[in-house]
Amino acid sequence: MPTETEQLTAIVQDTTFRNEDNGYTVLHAVVGRTEHTVVGILPELSPGENVTFEGRWTEHPMYGRQFSASKCTITPPTGKSAIEKYLGSGLIRGIGPSTAKLIVNHFGESAMDVLDEHPERLTEIPGIGPKKAAMIMESYTEQMGMRRALVFLQNYGISPNLAMKVAKYYGENTVTLIRQNPYRMVTDIDGVGFLTADRIALSMGIDPMSEHRIRAALFYLLNEAAGNGGHTYLPHQVLRQRAAAMLRADEELVERQISQGMLEKMIVGFSMPGEEDAVCLPLYFHAENEIAMRLHYLMEARPYKRVTGLGDRIAAYEKEQGVRFSDMQKKAIRSAVEEGVLVITGGPGTGKTTIIRCILSLLKEDNDILLCAPTGRAAKRMSEATGEEAKTIHRLLEYGGDSETFARSQDYPLECDCLIVDEMSMVDVVLMRGLLRAILPGTRLILVGDADQLPSVGAGNVLHDILASDAVPNVRLCDIFRQDESSMIVLNAHRINHGEMPVLKKRDTDFFFEKKMLQSEAAKTICQLLQTRLPKYLRFPEDRWRSEAVRTIQVLTPTKKGDCGAVALNQLLQAALNPEKPGQDTITHGETTFRVGDKVIQTKNDYQLEYKRRTQFGWEDGTGIFNGDVGYVEHIDPAEHLLTVCFDDDRYVTYQKQQLDALELAYCLTVHKSQGSEFPVVVLPVVGGPPMLMVRNLLYTALTRARHLVVLVGREEVIRQMVENDHIAQRYTMLTERLISYQTLGQMG
């Protein structure tokens, strides 16, 4: 149980460490004659300041007892000595020890009041002219503004990390701006949701029916629809009704703010063919329209570099590699070479990788070719399958400071004649727009993916919408051509996809089913499978059973909650595969204790997070770790509260404690988080869950993540329910219609 929050009132002695980016501070403070170490995200404090810290006492393994502060209240220094020490600390530009002495000698104990209320009086002091006085006041105002902002925000329950982020964005005007309209944070600051801003606003007495509140709610609902539902828009009526219900407001009042939001271009209204009016955020409206436009231009341009004697060269490749392409596979190869854009889609074993290899063979002699995929794991797998370097899309585009900024664009395009993108089902509209901006007309674009897998985590349904439009040349591969077509993983995946029950009771295969009726029984069995049974079956070296199991076997689950949800299974599997050891360095964050050797996953895009990548030429620096990246804890420094993770593509990232919100254990992943990855062995509990998750394409996606072995643990009737439930949650997207529009315009032209 967490200890009670305590207060520590002390005088600051000195600061031993401060991270200017996030405000994390280590300082010494004294109470009477006793010195204490205080750590936390704090405003910049000066020696001599009287501060009341709020937080908890903790025991550091190296530095002993210290106070971990979550907030602080600063009492202005009193007495000439304290004021002089504070002013001369170097905190305020233009005031050193000698100037501080002059100020205190002149104004005495009123010096702080003069700085607050009559700063122009500084010019009374010989040696301080108008220019220097202005510099002092600018620095003093900035410091005071930041302090007031942090204290103000933390008093409303905003975390220190987020408070620092808000204060840096608004600067010295933070308190004034937020008092005027707390809801501005919803649109301005990533990480501040409507509920947080609403709590602050209502506690300030802001009118619940204010235009600011209603407009922030509209923005929040559209963002929420994009982030959690993948929608790029909402029907006008749906948005109006949801906002009215959430705010307990009249729909007419909401409608008025929808109209006003459109006038101010905060939101965009438009009509969908055959449907009622729709509303969306400008980002998604422009992204989908631009995707359609750029795909149209790429198709119209056709490739600059032609390939002659295509039929003979395909035949020569077949003979050389000992393969025989079907007519549909040959069509895919021809179209990839001849068309400006081609989509190749198909399930496991249908030959997508074989086709890519052939295309590379035909083109690489005279064409510069680039390969990419949405995640590090998918890119690595693409490299292994083709023998060519593949990058993540973000790395290829040389992304900048946020998700919408890439160095590569129409002004600095990719230097290639052909670009091949794998795992297209994972690509959302923002990423797709960024990619297309960097491709010159005349470049071949080949998009590869499985349309029957789960859609992207981000907004949009790019692969599905492109195929649904039929405006882009595409080839659907249906027949199984994988050499190991006896694989029950492949056969069962296709059976599930066609609405048929998988074969569960065939022995000596790569597909097993273990019957367990209860969630608790299934969870216990999964632990046993990873601890002993599968390592023994797979003939892992006995001294490496646990470590090999962690790296080779991936537990997937439909849901986060319950005994067989990701949260509970991660705790069980961590205890089984990486148990606590005496004297082991650990970091506890929230409910999770991280240990060296833990498998972890990044749960949000962080475009600023720095990494070092090991290459054959040494180390290279970069920034950006993304949602879905999986790695292993390499090192923990409990003294400095640091944790280092090595991600799959040899990126080493050091996390500070406050950054651990984005890191979770990954012994067990939800099926959604496993997209784009492939694992040697997959274990999947099938014991029930929310109906919206127990669907066919989720089961299909889970199976297609496995390379060599699948083990299902649970109930046959649950599997049957999932196979029969082919409901796919509708995403409100407009890309299909946009593509059809451009196709129609092209035909008219």
Write out the two tokens for 546. 């646990």
Using a 10 angstrom Cβ sphere, with 0-12 exposed, 13-18 middle and 19 or more buried, the burial of residue 716 is middle
Instruction: Locate the DSSP E strands across 486-525.
Output: 511-515
Predicted local distance difference test score (pLDDT) of residue 72 = 81
Predicted local distance difference test score (pLDDT) of residue 721 = 94
Predicted local distance difference test score (pLDDT) of residue 746 = 63
C-alpha distances (whole Å) from 458 to each of 57, 467, 672 are 41, 18, 11
Contact in structure between 557 and 565 (CB atoms under 8 Å):
yes
Helix H or strand E encompassing 447: strand 444-449
CA atoms within 13 A on the CB side of 463: 27
Predicted local distance difference test score (pLDDT) of residue 267 = 93
Predicted local distance difference test score (pLDDT) of residue 473 = 95
Residues of 225-257 as b/e, b for ≥16 C-beta within 10 angstroms? bbeeebbbbbbbebbbebbbebbebeeeebbeb
- Compute the distance between CA of residue 451 and CA of residue 423 in angstroms, rounded to an integer: 9
Candidates 601, 650, 596; CA nearest to 622 is 650
Amino acid sitting at position 193? G
Predicted local distance difference test score (pLDDT) of residue 542 = 85
Q: Which residue has the tokens 């944790």?
A: 643
**Mean pLDDT, 10 residues at a time, the chain of 749 residues:** 73 83 83 89 80 86 82 78 79 83 90 84 88 85 73 74 80 84 87 85 88 92 91 95 93 94 92 84 95 94 81 92 90 92 90 92 90 87 90 85 73 94 94 95 94 88 95 89 69 91 87 93 95 92 88 94 93 93 85 92 81 83 82 87 86 86 93 85 93 89 92 95 86 94 71
Contact in structure between 184 and 178 (CB atoms under 8 Å):
yes
Percent of the chain with pLDDT over 70: 96
Write out the two tokens for 8. 């520590």
Q: Directed axis angle between helix 236-247 and helix 211-229, to 10°?
A: 120
Model pLDDT for residues 498-543, shown as the tens digit of each residue: 899 999 988 778 999 999 999 999 999 999 999 999 999 999 988 8
Interacting residues of 345 by C-beta distance below 8 A, sequence separation 6+: 448, 449, 450, 451, 463, 467, 474, 475, 476, 477
DSSP state, 249?
-
Q: Which residue has the tokens 């009041």?
A: 113
Write out the two tokens for 156. 């409303």
DSSP-based three-state secondary structure for 502: coil
C-alpha distances (whole Å) from 148 to each of 12, 162, 471 are 18, 15, 57
Characterize the bridge pairing of strands 268-271 and 277-280.
antiparallel
Predicted local distance difference test score (pLDDT) of residue 401 = 54
- Compute the distance between CA of residue 371 and CA of residue 447 in angstroms, rounded to an integer: 10
